[in-house]
Structure 1
Amino acid sequence: MPQISGSSEKPRRWIKRYRTEVSASSASVLSTITAFPLDSVKTRLQTYPYNGFLDCVRKTYREEGMRGFFRGVTAPLASVTLVRTVSFSIYQRSKYIYSDWMGKNLGFCPLEHVNKNGAYPNLGTMACFGAAGATAGSGITFIACPFELTKLSAQVSVLMATQKNADPKRQEIAMSYHNKGTINTLRNIVKHRGMSGMYTGLNLHLLRDTLGTGIYFATYESSKQLLTTFSGKDAHKNPIAVLAAGALCGIVSWALIYPIDSVKSIYQRNALMHSKGETVPIPKIHFFRKDMYRGLGVSMGRSAAVNAVFFSAFEFFKKRINALEDVDD
């Protein structure tokens, strides 16, 4: 076997050391581009009264063309990649910390249980993964909020600018976000709402991500464990289990926290049309009320697709990176 130069070995060692982060970031780029049009339709359905999914798609395409479905894609490409990378890093570390704590104090180690052949998920494993997910979700909120606000502004900028019977002052502010791009949109948010304006809706965002990410990881790990136990294969060698668990965790998490996300989107949309210092009332969160679930079907479909692609790509990239060890040897 030919010898590998030191300059070639160094990046390989770095990639293997940060295999989780490298795999998460690569998979994020792929999954974000794949599912972004559905995310755009979801946001429009949440914030404006369309007559369903097809009506939103038809009107968006007629008035804005294909570009309308990809407005604001730059922000999530950067933010989702960063957020997922940080989220997975926090999650990986947190689940080991919580599992060790439970082993020492409760006499039950969730990670040891999960790695046993034929084991099924239980309250202990779900609590461990849920707590680690909630920790990751709360941690990434402060990174994600400005990016997601910018994305939302880009997605509905045309609708805000053409809104009928709007206050002239509000209309002027709304027009400043129209077709401005990610950086200029962020500048205008700071201009109208100050530096703190980048964190408009932070409390709702924190609540959504803490609960949602906890449910997300608990569902993924538990469903993957169930499917791999039924199939009798190792989790990382069973692509069908990874694909199905990825799709399921996206569906379940969105179904349970969707009204919180709807209120966040509506509040942020309203706040973008106000200047700094003006009071913007926060809508109440109503579970099981029909208008709080506008776009849920689209969101669940998008989430199933994006997470199925993400986790499949994540496990694939991670497997390929692990295989690099054979070359170094």
Structure 2
Amino acid sequence: MSLRGTEVAADPTTQIHKIDRPSLLSHVKYEHLIAGIFGGVASTVLLHPLDLIKVRLAVTDGRTTTPQYHSLWNAATTIFRQDGVRGLYRGVTPNVCGAGSSWGLYFLFYNATKTWVQGGNTKKALSPETHMLAASQAGILTLAVTNPIWVVKTRLCLQYSELDPSKIPEGKRYSGMMDALFKIYTHEGVRGLYKGFLPGIVGTSHGALQFMAYEEMKNRYNQYKCLPIDTKLTTIDYLTFAALSKLFAAATTYPYQVVRSRLQNQHRTYSGSWDCIKQTWTHEGARGFYKGLSANLWRVTPATMITFVVYENVSYFLLS
């Protein structure tokens, strides 16, 4: 009797299970990946010409033999006159691959981290700092996977038809995405595929600021309406919040994109990020760090609006 009593008394302690927060992997949902891919591809296909012009304006330093453009309109008309529509879509394949995979992975990592912090309760509001941390982690993980694609996209966007091919080394003339990947790896190694990675890491602050602003606006709007923070909003709401958050982030972090594009430019070589920053400042001043900003804003603002609206609706449909 006493033995059984001892067993009963001990039973509750031996059968108590430690309650742990579910692992991060348990919050990984493929729906966010698919929805992000859809959003990234849709916006890229529609707006790639503006991205190409932004890249070309960003590397225009007045000291190379590459074509020099004076404005967004001048660049667009010059490229169209020389190469037609095809010229405006140079580098579109890696851009579509890069944007689709980047947005898909970004939303996947971001939502997994955010939901893990929330303990699985999507109605729990998080602080702006937590949103920034989750977005920064998602950005670094995404960049580690996709940086080679962005190097290839930049190189293909900087294939100028008016340059004499004989003056360009064979290893820096590319016929397409796979050819560029192969030649960069062959002639420059893994390091060549990860040029611009350091400023890219700095650039994760862009996504962090954007997602923080976007989430805060959504949360405050729903709280104002006395609704749960995960309530589905209207298309107009998503468009507005996406545009405002992108403008805020772009104006704050654009210089890193200029540095990154210049490091990835096959027509000029820098010893590193700091060398690129010093040379840009010495020869062009502060204005040099904002070259291509207007083209960038004309592209990224509608691109972000399209991406987020497609993502929000596709993810809601899949998760439902």
- TM-score bracket, shorter-length normalisation: 0.7 to 0.9
Distance 1:233 1:99 in 2: 18
Q: Give the equivalent residue in structure 2 for 1:34.
A: 46
Q: Give the equivalent residue in structure 2 for 1:259.
A: 255
State the one-letter code of the partner of 2:32: T
Aligned mate of 2:265, from 266, 269, 272: 269
> How much does 1:69 deviate?
1.3
Distance 2:34 2:183 in 1: 33
Q: Give the equivalent residue in structure 2 for 1:283.
A: 276
Q: Is the 8 A contact 1:129 1:218 kept in 2?
A: yes
Distance 1:74 1:205 in 2: 21
> How much does 1:227 deviate?
4.0
Q: Is the 8 A contact 1:227 1:241 kept in 2?
A: no
Distance 2:82 2:311 in 1: 36
Distance 2:116 2:265 in 1: 39
Structure 1 pair 300–318 and aligned structure 2 pair: CA distance change class (3 A): same
**2:300 maps to 1:308:** no
Q: Deviations over 1:174-201 (max 9, x none)?
A: x544451111111121222123211112
Gaps of 5+ in 1: 1-16, 101-108, 115-123, 324-329
Gaps of 5+ in 2: 1-28, 61-67
User: What is the root-mean-square deviation in Å for CA atoms of aligned residues?
Assistant: 2.9
Q: How does 1:1-329 map to 2 (within 5 A)?
A: 18-48=30-60, 49-99=68-118, 112=123, 114=125, 125-158=127-160, 161-162=163-164, 171-173=167-169, 176-178=171-173, 180-208=175-203, 210-229=204-223, 235-270=231-266, 279=271, 282-284=275-277, 289-323=286-320
Q: Deviations over 1:76-103 (max 9, x none)?
A: 2112211211111110121233445xxx
State the one-letter code of the partner of 2:303: V
Distance 1:240 1:162 in 2: 48
Q: Deviations over 1:30-81 (max 9, x none)?
A: 1111121111111011012411111111111111111111111111211221
Structure 1 pair 66–273 and aligned structure 2 pair: CA distance change class (3 A): same
Q: Deviations over 1:224-272 (max 9, x none)?
A: 23444556667413221111111222222221111111011112215x6
Q: How many residues matched?
A: 279
Q: Give the equivalent residue in structure 2 for 1:103.
A: none
The normalised TM-score by structure 1 is 0.76
Q: Is the 8 A contact 2:55 2:292 kept in 1?
A: yes
Amino-acid identity (%): 20
Larger radius of gyration: 2
Distance 1:152 1:47 in 2: 10
The normalised TM-score by structure 2 is 0.78
